[in-house]
Every structure is written in C-alpha cells, then in structure tokens.
Amino acid sequence: MKKKWIVVPSLLALAMAGAIAASPSEPKVAVDRAARQEVIDTLVAKLNDHYVFPDKAKQIEAALRQRQREGKYDAVSDAKQLAKQLTDDMRAVAADGHMEVFFSPRPVPADDAMPPPPKTRAEWEQHVPADKLPTFLQMADRSVEQKHLTPRIGYLKVSMFPPPFLMGERYAAAMNQLADTDGLIVDLRNNSGGGPDTVALLVSYFVDQRTRLNDIWDRDTGISTPFWTEDKLDGKRYGGKKPVLILAGPRTMSAGEDFAYTMQAMKRATVIGEPTWGGAHPTRPYRLAEHFLASIPTRRTISPITKTNWEGVGVIPDVKAKPDDTLALARDMLERRLQGSGAPAAAGQ
C-alpha cells in the first residue's frame, strides 16, 4: 500500500516531516556509489525540468558535477549526510531556502502517486493519515489567536497559513471579535508559512473592495495565476482605513512574508521589526530515489505593485526594531496615533 501524502501547499513542510520521520526500530540506510549517482542524476534532471530559474538549475548542475569529478561525495556513506551536503551545495549556488534534499527511512512514493492539492476539507481528509488528522486540526486551531490589548487596540497572532477550507470559520471568529477595535497589531514573528490562497483570504478582511494581490508564475506551465481578495467573507470586514501594524522578523517565513509584503506594498500596513526569512518561491516535492526526495521551487510570486518579490532579501521593515521589542513599540505607536481621536486613523498616518 502506498503511503498517502498531504500535498496542500500550506502543509507541504508538515507532510515532508511526517514522511521522513523515522521510528526507533527503522534501520539507518547507507548509500553506496550507485545510490549516490542515482540521487545526483535525478536531482539534476528534476532541477533542470522544474526549478523556477532554469539558468540557476544549470549552474547548480555544473557545481554538483564538478564536486563529483573531484570525488567530494565519494566518502559520504550516510544517507542523511548526503542529503545535507547536496542541500548545502545547491544553496551555495542559488540561495533559495525552499530548496532542499531530504532523506526518508521509509520508501518515497513516485511523483505521479501524489494527488493534486485538494480543494475541500473532505478531499484533504482523504489524504491525511487518520492518526495525524487530530494533530493537524489542532495546529490549524492554534495558528490564529486574537485578543484585545486595550478596548481600542486589537492583537492578532498568526503562526501559519493552513488551507483556506480549514481557516474560513477561524478567521471569521477572530475578525468578529476584533471588529470593534480602532487599530490592530498582526503578529507574524513566528509564522512558518503556508498557502497563498489563505494569505489572500486573510488580506481580504483589510480592504474595502476587490483587490489584486499577487501573481504566481508557474515554470512547468508558463502560466501566471492572479490572486485576488475574496468578495464574500464569513466574518466582519476590518476595512481599509483602520491602522494595521505588522510585527515581523527572521522567523517570519514564506506565506507569512507574503502577507507582510503584500500589505506593505498596498500601503495598508506598517511593518515593524527586522528583515524576514526571504523565501518567495512555492515548492513541491519530487522523488529522487527510494529513500530521497527534494523540495524544488517551481513557481514565483510577483507583486503587481513592485513587479518583484521578497526572495533572498526578505520583507524590509518600515520601522526597524528587535523582534522582542516590536510588540511594545507597536502598541505605543497605536496608542499615540489613536489618542484623542474619535475616528480611526488611516494606515500610514
């Protein structure tokens, strides 16, 4: 029986973690010359076929082949070490944090055994191992927290962006509770990422009309898909005028960066903290060998406002501060902004 994979983009990292987790009874897998050759040859082929920057894929191939000729991999007999070394060697050429080689003690399914990303919760649950379902649902529950810091200032902590069909009701409940505030702090300092659909859903609460957010270009198809805000929401819309401050830092990753970057580019929020992780390329897993797989970025986010993204540089804050200091700073900024104001101030004022 083939192992089921969760292939929702926002849970890709979780799926990989589950796939490669070893139990104490599983033996280590050694690699010989033939195994190393298979892994490297397949990795090179997959990069050339799918990596979002074809020229960089060629440069990575050249670097890996050079290391092969120099015998740099000949002494690597441990599978985990080989995966780490290949990851390091790829990133030395293309500093892409989403690109990685993994070792799996369990057999890795073929690429065509992975179903397309589900569109509904029912489809998603079909591909989630029954024993993992409660854990993933609990993670979705804990991915958003909200409270009032003062009667006028709200606080929304978002730690990841699970699929929108898991978050629709959760976001609605959070935004309903925060609707009576005059200013909001969105805490993304420990956001591990997720899916662009869910980012678009949450951004929708902070605009007054349908808004184009980002395009995502797919290397495999050559097609760019625009992402728009949602016209209809389950919760109360926060609107486009109340001030929003976003807390961010080095542990703000992937989709967390997407939210911060998009809100900043629209001039809908002020970002406070330090530059974020710097990963803007959605990925998918590819099988390299029986016990190896690679996460390869195949798509690229492009802002219609900036014409670029945050890859490699992160989201640059509007107000620099150490991550531990950002909440107090943001609260002080909002209190001063709202002090004596009967009506909410616009973002950026």
Residue 109 CB neighbours (<10 A): 17
> Within the chain, which residues score under 50 in pLDDT?
1-24, 343-349
> What's residue 98's pLDDT?
92
For residue 139, what are the contacts with CB-CB under 8 A and spacing of at least 6? Answer: 14, 160, 162
| Cα 287 from Cα 293, distance rounded (Å) | 4
> What's residue 300's pLDDT?
94
> What's residue 119's pLDDT?
82
* Residue carrying the six token digits 């993204």: 309
> What's residue 113's pLDDT?
77
Looking at CATH, the fold of the domain delimited by 143-279+314-338 is given as 2-enoyl-CoA Hydratase; Chain A, domain 1 (3.90.226)
> What's residue 3's pLDDT?
33
> What's residue 210's pLDDT?
96
Order of strands across the sheet that contains 100-103: 100-103, 292-297, 283-289
Residue 118 CB neighbours (<10 A): 18
Residues forming CATH 3.90.226.10 domain(s) in the chain: 143-279+314-338
**b/e 155-194 (16+ beta carbons within 10 angstroms → b):** bbbbbbbbbbbbbbebbbebbebbeebbbbbbbbbbbbbb
Q: Which two tokens stand for residue 315?
A: 């989201």
